[in-house]
Chains A and B, each alone.
Chain A
Amino acid sequence: MKREKRIKIYVVILLIIMPGFLSGCWDSHELNKLSIVSGLGWDIDNTGKVTMTYQSIIPSEIKGSSGSNGGGEQKGGSQLSAIQLNQDTGSSPYDALSRYTQHASRIPYYEHTQIYLFGKEGVQRGIYPFLDTQARNPVSRPKALMVVSAEEKASDILGIQDGMENIQAFGMAAEIKLSATFSKYPEVTVLQFQNRLLSKTTAPIAPMVGIFEETGPEGKKIRRTRVVGTAVFKGDRMIGQLNERESSGLLWAINEIKIGFVMIPEASMEIVSAKSKIVPELQGDQVKITIEIDEESNLVEYRGHQDITADLVHELEKGQAKEIESQVRAAVEKSFALDADVFGFGEAVHRKYKKEWKDLKPRWDDIYSRIEVLVKVKTHLNEIGDVNKALIKD
Chain B
Amino acid sequence: MFRLLSQKMRRYRTSSSDNQTQAKQNASPKYLSKNLEGNLQVLREELGQSSDVIIRDMKISSNSDVDGAVIYIDGLVDRNLLNQDILQPLMFNLQVIKDNVNQKQSKLIDFIKSSVLTVGQISGTEDIDTVIAGVLSGHTAILIEGVTQALLIDTKGWETRNVDEPTNEVSIRGPKDSFNETLRTNTALLRRKIRDPRLTFQSLQIGERSKTDVTVAYIKGITPDHLISEINQRLKRIDTDAILDIGYIEQFIEDSPLSLFPTVGVTQRPDVVAAKILEGRAAILVDGSPMALTMPFLFIEGFQNPDDYYARPFFAAAIRWLRLLGFTLSIYLPGIFVSLKAFHPELFPAPLLVSVAAAREGLPFPVALEAILMLSLFEILREAGLRMPRSLGPAVSIVGALVIGQAAVSAGLVGAPMVIVVATTAIASFLVVPYADAGALLRFLMTIVAGFLGLFGMVIFQLEILSHLAALRSLGVPYLSPVTPLKLRGLKDVFIRAPLWAMDRRPEFLDSSDKRRQSPGQMPRAPQTKPGKREG
14 more A-B contacts (CB under 8 A) besides A32-B363, A57-B354, A170-B350?
A9-B4, A12-B1, A19-B453, A24-B453, A29-B342, A30-B341, A31-B341, A31-B357, A31-B367, A32-B360, A34-B357, A36-B353, A63-B358, A170-B351
Instruction: Given A9-B1, A13-B1, A30-B366, decide whether A66 and B454 contact each other with a Cβ distance below 8 A.
Output: no
Name the interface residues of A261-320: CB closer than 8 Å to any CB of B.
none
Q: Give the tally of cross-chain contacts (CB within 8 A).
A: 83
The answer, among B353, B354, B357, B454, for a CB contact under 8 Å with A27, is B454
Residues of B within 8 A of A66 (CB): 355, 358
The answer, among A24, A34, A114, for a CB contact under 8 Å with B457, is A24
Residues of B within 8 A of A141 (CB): 346
Measured in the bound complex, the distance between the Cα atoms of B344 and A139 in whole Å is 11
Instruction: Given A29-B342, A34-B345, A112-B346, decide whether A24 and B358 contact each other with a Cβ distance below 8 A.
Output: no
Would you call A71 an interface residue if the criterion is a C-beta within 8 Å of the partner chain's C-beta atoms? no
Q: Is the Cβ of B357 less than 8 Å from the Cβ of A28?
A: no
Q: Is the Cβ of A30 less than 8 Å from the Cβ of B367?
A: yes
Residues in chain A within 8 A of chain B (CB atoms): 5, 9, 12-13, 19-20, 23-25, 27-32, 34, 36, 57, 59-60, 62-63, 66-67, 109, 111-112, 114, 139, 141, 167, 170
Residues of B within 8 A of A19 (CB): 453
Name the interface residues of B391-432: CB closer than 8 Å to any CB of A.
none
Residues of B within 8 A of A67 (CB): 358
A-B contacts, 23 of them at CB < 8 A, read: A13-B1, A23-B456, A24-B454, A24-B456, A27-B454, A28-B343, A30-B367, A31-B341, A31-B357, A32-B357, A32-B363, A36-B353, A36-B357, A59-B357, A59-B360, A59-B361, A62-B354, A62-B358, A63-B361, A66-B358, A109-B345, A112-B350, A170-B351
Residues of B within 8 A of A112 (CB): 345-346, 348, 350, 353
Interface residues contributed by chain B, number (CB under 8 Å)? 28
The answer, among A28, A29, A59, A114, for a CB contact under 8 Å with B358, is A59
Measured in the bound complex, the distance between the Cα atoms of B1 and A13 in whole Å is 9
B353 smallest CB distance to A (angstroms)? 6
Smallest CB gap from B362: residue in A: A60
Measured in the bound complex, the distance between the Cα atoms of B357 and A114 in whole Å is 17
Smallest CB gap from A23: residue in B: B453
Q: Is the Cβ of A60 less than 8 Å from the Cβ of B345?
A: no
1/0 per residue, CB under 8 A from A, across B31-68: the answer is 00000000000000000000000000000000000000
A170 smallest CB distance to B (angstroms)? 7
Residues of A within 8 A of B108 (CB): none
A113 smallest CB distance to B (angstroms)? 9
Smallest CB gap from B410: residue in A: A68
Q: Is the Cβ of A57 less than 8 Å from the Cβ of B357?
A: yes
Residues of A within 8 A of B321 (CB): none
Q: Which of A28, A34, A167 has the most CB of B within 10 A?
A: A28
Residues of A within 8 A of B452 (CB): 20, 24-25
Residues of B within 8 A of A62 (CB): 354-355, 357-358
The answer, among A20, A34, A63, A114, for a CB contact under 8 Å with B359, is A63
Measured in the bound complex, the distance between the Cα atoms of B456 and A27 in whole Å is 11
Would you call B322 an interface residue if the criterion is a C-beta within 8 Å of the partner chain's C-beta atoms? no
Would you call B356 an interface residue if the criterion is a C-beta within 8 Å of the partner chain's C-beta atoms? yes
Residues of B within 8 A of A59 (CB): 354, 357-358, 360-361
B345 smallest CB distance to A (angstroms)? 6
Residues of B within 8 A of A114 (CB): 350
Residues in chain B within 8 A of chain A (CB atoms): 1, 4, 341-343, 345-346, 348, 350-351, 353-363, 366-367, 452-454, 456-457
Measured in the bound complex, the distance between the Cα atoms of B457 and A25 in whole Å is 12
Q: Which of B353, B358, B452 has the most CB of A within 10 A?
A: B358
Q: Is the Cβ of B355 less than 8 Å from the Cβ of A111?
A: no
Instruction: Given A24-B452, A28-B342, decide whether A60 and B350 contact each other with a Cβ distance below 8 A.
Output: no
A35 smallest CB distance to B (angstroms)? 9
Measured in the bound complex, the distance between the Cα atoms of B359 and A319 in whole Å is 55
Measured in the bound complex, the distance between the Cα atoms of B474 and A289 in whole Å is 72
B5 smallest CB distance to A (angstroms)? 9
A173 smallest CB distance to B (angstroms)? 9
B367 smallest CB distance to A (angstroms)? 6
A320 smallest CB distance to B (angstroms)? 38
Measured in the bound complex, the distance between the Cα atoms of B454 and A24 in whole Å is 7
Measured in the bound complex, the distance between the Cα atoms of B362 and A62 in whole Å is 13
Residues of B within 8 A of A139 (CB): 346
Smallest CB gap from B353: residue in A: A112
Residues of A within 8 A of B351 (CB): 170
Measured in the bound complex, the distance between the Cα atoms of B342 and A62 in whole Å is 20
Measured in the bound complex, the distance between the Cα atoms of B363 and A154 in whole Å is 35
Measured in the bound complex, the distance between the Cα atoms of B4 and A12 in whole Å is 12
Measured in the bound complex, the distance between the Cα atoms of B351 and A114 in whole Å is 11
Measured in the bound complex, the distance between the Cα atoms of B1 and A12 in whole Å is 8
Measured in the bound complex, the distance between the Cα atoms of B118 and A336 in whole Å is 118
B467 smallest CB distance to A (angstroms)? 15
A98 smallest CB distance to B (angstroms)? 20
Q: Is the Cβ of A29 less than 8 Å from the Cβ of B345?
A: yes
Measured in the bound complex, the distance between the Cα atoms of B353 and A20 in whole Å is 27
Smallest CB gap from A24: residue in B: B453
Measured in the bound complex, the distance between the Cα atoms of B343 and A24 in whole Å is 8
A116 smallest CB distance to B (angstroms)? 15
Measured in the bound complex, the distance between the Cα atoms of B412 and A67 in whole Å is 14
Q: Is the Cβ of B453 less than 8 Å from the Cβ of A20?
A: yes
Measured in the bound complex, the distance between the Cα atoms of B453 and A112 in whole Å is 22
Smallest CB gap from A63: residue in B: B358
Residues of A within 8 A of B4 (CB): 5, 9
B451 smallest CB distance to A (angstroms)? 8
Residues of A within 8 A of B353 (CB): 36, 112
Smallest CB gap from A35: residue in B: B357
Q: Is the Cβ of A111 less than 8 Å from the Cβ of B346?
A: yes
Measured in the bound complex, the distance between the Cα atoms of B348 and A188 in whole Å is 22
Measured in the bound complex, the distance between the Cα atoms of B1 and A36 in whole Å is 45
Q: Which of B351, B360, B456 has the most CB of A within 10 A?
A: B360
Smallest CB gap from B359: residue in A: A63
Measured in the bound complex, the distance between the Cα atoms of B346 and A31 in whole Å is 11
A332 smallest CB distance to B (angstroms)? 37
Measured in the bound complex, the distance between the Cα atoms of B241 and A201 in whole Å is 89
B339 smallest CB distance to A (angstroms)? 9
Smallest CB gap from A173: residue in B: B350
Smallest CB gap from B451: residue in A: A28
Smallest CB gap from A170: residue in B: B350
Instruction: Given A30-B342, A59-B360, A60-B361, decide whether A36 and B354 contact each other with a Cβ distance below 8 A.
Output: yes
Measured in the bound complex, the distance between the Cα atoms of B342 and A34 in whole Å is 10
Smallest CB gap from B346: residue in A: A111
Smallest CB gap from A112: residue in B: B350
Measured in the bound complex, the distance between the Cα atoms of B453 and A23 in whole Å is 7
Measured in the bound complex, the distance between the Cα atoms of B354 and A19 in whole Å is 32
Residues of B within 8 A of A28 (CB): 342-343, 454
Residues of A within 8 A of B342 (CB): 28-31
B365 smallest CB distance to A (angstroms)? 10
A168 smallest CB distance to B (angstroms)? 13
Q: Which 6 A-B pairs have the closest CB atoms?
A: A111-B346, A62-B358, A63-B358, A59-B358, A59-B357, A59-B361
Residues of B within 8 A of A60 (CB): 358, 361-362
Instruction: Given A12-B1, A24-B456, A62-B354, decide whether A29 and B343 contact each other with a Cβ distance below 8 A.
Output: yes
Residues of B within 8 A of A57 (CB): 354, 357
Instruction: Given A20-B452, A25-B452, A60-B361, decide whether A31 and B345 contact each other with a Cβ distance below 8 A.
Output: yes
Measured in the bound complex, the distance between the Cα atoms of B341 and A170 in whole Å is 21
Residues of A within 8 A of B343 (CB): 24, 27-29
Residues of A within 8 A of B360 (CB): 30-32, 59
Residues of A within 8 A of B361 (CB): 32, 59-60, 63
Residues of B within 8 A of A109 (CB): 345
Measured in the bound complex, the distance between the Cα atoms of B451 and A28 in whole Å is 9
Measured in the bound complex, the distance between the Cα atoms of B4 and A30 in whole Å is 40
Residues of A within 8 A of B366 (CB): 30
A260 smallest CB distance to B (angstroms)? 26
The answer, among B348, B354, B362, B457, for a CB contact under 8 Å with A32, is B362
A94 smallest CB distance to B (angstroms)? 20
